[in-house]
Amino acid sequence: MPEANESPAALRAFWSGTITFGLVSVPVAIFPANRSRRTSLRMVDDDGTPLQRRYVCPKDGKELDWDDIVRGYEVSKGKFVVVTDEELEAIEPRKTRDIDLRMFVDARDIDPMFFERAYYLTPAGGSTKAYRLLAAVMEKNGRAGIATFVMRAKESMVAILAERGILRAETLRFQDEIRRPGDLGLPKRAKPKSTAVTKFTREIGKHSGRFSLRDFKDEAAERLEKLVSKKQREHNDIVKAPEPVGQQAAQEGGEVIDLVEALRTSLQSGASTARRRKRKAG
């Protein structure tokens, strides 16, 4: 079940760097602006053991280890060019902590269809002056910054937007990732009849209002959570995964040994013995 509210202390920046353009440098930290509802279902067997995914060769049904697997780029149907890990590492973009702001554009010129994932940019470092100034000027002039930066060994293109004094980044899809209406075989545009336009305008007016996300909920996720809660209260269809074989054997043999604690005790005992010997020698 998702948490209703997240404490600021529980949120951590997963990347930090500096927005740079000209002689300007603005240190920022990046936080995801989206969060998962966590209503996905896991695959388990009848006794509740979570199942694992395995790679199996369809030719002979053999299960493969990681050492048996290589990556291939499909150049035609069933034909692959094998690429090694070393070759992929060699062509990775150079790691840097700079968000290279290439240009400022009119924010209205960016089609939301290109937006992929949203992030918050927060001030980093000891001063927030440069951050606040950049956000204020961009918002006042309706400008957005187009920038590139390297995250998780991948170079991403982002649009940096300013809203209510806060900077937000939207990773952008590239041109060849967007389908155009012409790709779908839609009929040619035709001019509608005036009577139909009047009718639709009237109906749209009846159903018009002010948009607020608070008026909309993920009803499918809520129904699933209510179903799970009901089953849990009634102790219905609840299965518990069996303990791992190693842990089970340890319990059957008596006390479960904490190896970390045993090692710590051993080291402390050795240190105490060494100190006693040193005192005797002195």
Residues 98 and 157 in one domain: yes
> Considering the domain boundaries, does residue 64 fall inside one?
no
Output the tens digit of pLDDT for each of the chain's 282 residues: 444 456 554 577 888 889 999 889 999 999 998 877 667 788 888 888 888 888 998 888 899 888 889 999 999 998 999 998 889 888 888 888 889 999 999 999 999 999 999 999 999 987 889 999 999 999 999 999 999 988 777 888 999 999 999 999 999 998 888 988 878 888 888 888 999 999 999 999 988 888 887 887 877 788 888 888 888 888 888 878 777 655 555 454 544 445 455 445 544 544 444 455 545 455
Residues 119 and 22 in one domain: yes
Residues 31 and 158 in one domain: yes
Residues 21 and 119 in one domain: yes
Residues 232 and 172 in one domain: no
pLDDT digits (tens, 9 = 90+) for 202-233: 999 988 888 887 887 877 788 888 888 888 88
DSSP 140-179: HHTEEEEEEEEETTEEEEEEEEEETTEEEEEEE--GGGS-
Residues 140 and 251 in one domain: no
Number of domains in the chain: 2
* Residues 101, 19: Cα–Cα separation, whole Å: 7
Residues 18 and 157 in one domain: yes
* Residues 127, 117: Cα–Cα separation, whole Å: 27
Residues 23 and 104 in one domain: yes
Residues 18 and 105 in one domain: yes
Q: Tokens 């150049």: give the residue.
A: 75
Residues 157 and 240 in one domain: no
> Considering the domain boundaries, does residue 237 fall inside one?
yes
Domain interval for residue 269 = 227-282
> CA angle, 54 as apex, 60 and 78 as ends, to 5°?
55
> Considering the domain boundaries, does residue 49 fall inside one?
no
Listed in order, strand segments (DSSP E) in the chain are 15-21, 24-32, 71-76, 79-83, 98-106, 115-123, 143-151, 154-163, 166-172
Cβ 98 vs Cβ 149: under 8 Å = yes
For residue 114, give the CATH number of its domain.
Answer: 2.40.290.10
Q: Tokens 């045993």: give the residue.
A: 262
Structure tokens that stand for 60 in this block: 């002979």
> Considering the domain boundaries, does residue 152 fall inside one?
yes
